[in-house]
Amino acid sequence: MFIIENYQLAVFLCVITMLCWGSWANTQKLASKKWGFPLFYWDYTLGVILLSLVFGLTLGSNGNSGQAFLPNLGDASLNAIFYALLGGIIFNIANLLLVAAIDIAGMAIAFPVGIGIALVLGVLVNYIAAPVGDPMLLFAGVGLVALAIVVDALAYKKISSGAATTKGIMISLAAGVLMGFFYRFVAASMSEDFSNPTTGLLTPYTAVFVFSIGIFISNFLFNTFFMYRPLNGEKVTYKDYFKVGTPKLHIIGILGGVIWCIGFLLNMIAAGEAGFAISYGLGQGATMVAAIWGIFIWKEFKNAPKGTNTLIGLMFLLFIVGLSLIIMAKNV
């Protein structure tokens, strides 16, 4: 299977993760307004499964290093499979809650609260479990990235017309806590040595595939709830999925899942060299990428009031310095 043994390449893969995680939501913007997020999300989960399977049967099955995808899946222990599935289940409910919180409280409040908590908690949990890198540099970088997310919130608040509600903030908090833990469970299912996997533990390719199964299976519970009992907005049904959905809409949703999964898989591969805490921390720089899309492509700040550009500039500076410190945390 394809693995890397170079830290610079690991950082490059994490940068691709940032691009993917910060860009997949654009596919939701491209979908019709009549195409509710729960319906879009079904195609998104299919995209995650399909891409993880394709990668497993190609990059995960070729080469002389490690164990091939199917043999590794066959040798996996029930414990390892459970952890990867649990990671998918936790991520799924966290992702759905975050989207609901954004719908209720607005992106200016929900996204920074949810992702900010996920960033700090995720790096902390993963570092405690697998301490790789200089903790001073790592957590200084995490602190600056978290501060950048707060500045990002202040910038979005200047163009946001909606007022945050207590309900939206509470849902954001729950989403952030769950999002901070899903990565650790997937990491716990994997062997630390990708070249010579520990018997019973998973390779990155197998772990991501089992993780995607956890998302899809749990979707029948969680996403069905959001379809018929939405926290905000009108309900949608399974009939709507087939009646309203067009081939174009389905392809857009699947593409969203493919983009997100590319980022996650490359992040898992990079973790073998960079460590799980650093990989996760760099991946959450996706907030900066999302901001770039919003500013330069979707023109969300076109009519922003005075002072907004200063906040945007400060946000990017904090992100760049924070991500640089995270990268430097691993001794090269």
Structure tokens at 213: 């199964």
DSSP secondary structure letter of residue 244: T
pLDDT at 150: 87
How many CA atoms within 13 Å lie on the side-chain side of 314?
15
> Predicted confidence band at 115 (pLDDT cuts at 50, 70, 90)?
confident
Give pLDDT tens digits for 271-283: 999 999 999 999 9
CA-to-CA dists, residue 211 to 62, 90, 230, angstroms:
21, 10, 25
Tell me the C-alpha distance between 77 and 189, whole Å. 9
pTM, to two decimals? 0.93
Helix (H) or strand (E) holding 306: none
Q: Classify the phi-psi angles of 230: left when phi > 0, otherwise alpha if psi is within -120 to 50, otherwise beta.
A: beta
Give pLDDT tens digits for 2-24: 999 999 999 999 999 999 998 99
Q: Is the pLDDT of residue 313 over 70?
A: yes
Beta carbons within 10 angstroms of residue 294's beta carbon: 22
Specify whether the CB–CB gap between 288 and 104 falls below 8 A: no
Q: Is the pLDDT of residue 258 over 60?
A: yes
Domain residue limits, the chain: 7-136+161-275
pLDDT at 216: 97
DSSP secondary structure letter of residue 305: P
Give the residue among 45, 13, 61, 54 at the shortest CA–CA distance from 203.
61
Give pLDDT tens digits for 43-80: 999 999 999 999 999 999 998 889 999 999 999 999 99
Q: Is the pLDDT of residue 108 over 70?
A: no
DSSP bridge partners of 202: 190
Rounded to an integer, the average pLDDT of 296-314 is: 87
- 3-state DSSP assignment of residue 3: coil
Q: Is the pLDDT of residue 211 over 80?
A: yes
Give the residue among 85, 24, 75, 49 at the shortest CA–CA distance from 211.
85
Give pLDDT tens digits for 167-210: 888 898 999 999 999 999 999 999 999 999 999 999 999 999 99
Rounded to an integer, the average pLDDT of 144-148 is: 92
pLDDT at 165: 63
DSSP secondary structure letter of residue 284: T
Range in 94-98, 108-112, 307-311 the model is least confident about: 108-112
Specify whether the CB–CB gap between 290 and 156 falls below 8 A: no
Rounded to an integer, the average pLDDT of 318-324 is: 94
Specify whether the CB–CB gap between 211 and 84 falls below 8 A: yes
Tell me the C-alpha distance between 221 and 210, whole Å. 18
* Distance spanning both ends of the chain, measured CA to CA: 24
pLDDT at 63: 86
pLDDT at 55: 97
Tell me the C-alpha distance between 204 and 190, whole Å. 7
Range in 46-55, 66-75, 95-104, 231-240 the model is least confident about: 95-104
pLDDT at 190: 97
Specify whether the CB–CB gap between 53 and 69 falls below 8 A: no
Tell me the C-alpha distance between 264 and 183, whole Å. 10
Structure tokens at 278: 């650093």
Tell me the C-alpha distance between 323 and 121, whole Å. 16
Give pLDDT tens digits for 155-175: 887 877 655 567 888 898 999
pLDDT at 162: 59
